Amino acid sequence: MYEGAVQDLIDELGRLPGIGPKSAQRIAFHVLQASATDVKRLAAVLVDVKDKVRFCKVCGNVSSAELCRICADPRRDPAQICVVEEPKDVVAVERTREFRGRYHVLGGAISPIDGVGPDDLRIRELLARLADGTVTEVILATDPNLEGEATATYLARLVKPMGVHVTRPASGLPVGGDLEYADEVTLGRAFEGRRQIDV
């Protein structure tokens, strides 16, 4: 047990995800030894993130203005919306540089066992975005696990009657993997979605 401020810092750090008591102690002593400017910068950034970061009022992504960078960009295709679970997924899709449309962040996936139902997600906002007819394709890029699949099924049922093209990213064998380790569900999906090789 340390005195006053040091112990307070260790306690606070220990509440962060993935940081146990030993890691908290190591980080606390690192902070103690760092220069005052470094520590002040860290403190300022922590305060800033809580003060300045908001959620984009259109897509729900994290943003520093009313509209996020992607929603505000006129070069992005307004006819395509990619629906994802978390802001982290927006970054993952952006890294591919394959998608030029806009996003919609649901804020999670439907999971009845955890008490998360359709009303807890930003589904009403998505339907409102589709109402004016500019959007022609909705890509349901929820996680390829059970909750994500069920959420995609639920959304497809709502969106299809609005006359919008609904797609889901392909699932199958990971690039760089071994066929023998693929599980039956994944391998089955890969066979279902096989494509012709053009030579």
Q: Under the rule (CB under 8 A), what is the footprint of other proteins?
A: 18, 110-115, 117, 145-146, 149-150, 153-154, 157, 174, 176-177, 181-186
DSSP summary character for residue 16: S
- Supply the minimum distance, in Å, between the C-beta of residue 181 and other proteins: 4
- Supply the minimum distance, in Å, between the C-beta of residue 117 and other proteins: 4
Q: Which one, 71 or 89, has the nearer CB to other proteins?
A: 89
- Supply the minimum distance, in Å, between the C-beta of residue 65 and other proteins: 31
- Supply the minimum distance, in Å, between the C-beta of residue 124 and other proteins: 16
**Which backbone phi and psi does 63 adopt, to 5 degrees?**
-160, 160
Q: How far apart are CA 199 and CA 197, in angstroms?
A: 6
Q: Which one, 129 or 189, has the nearer CB to other proteins?
A: 189
Q: Which one, 78 or 117, has the nearer CB to other proteins?
A: 117
> Residue 77 corresponds to which amino acid?
D
DSSP, collapsed to helix, strand or coil, labels residue 55 as: strand
Q: How far apart are CA 70 and CA 89, in angstroms?
A: 14
Q: How far apart are CA 140 and CA 165, in angstroms?
A: 11
Q: Which one, 7 or 145, has the nearer CB to other proteins?
A: 145
Q: How far apart are CA 11 and CA 31, in angstroms?
A: 14
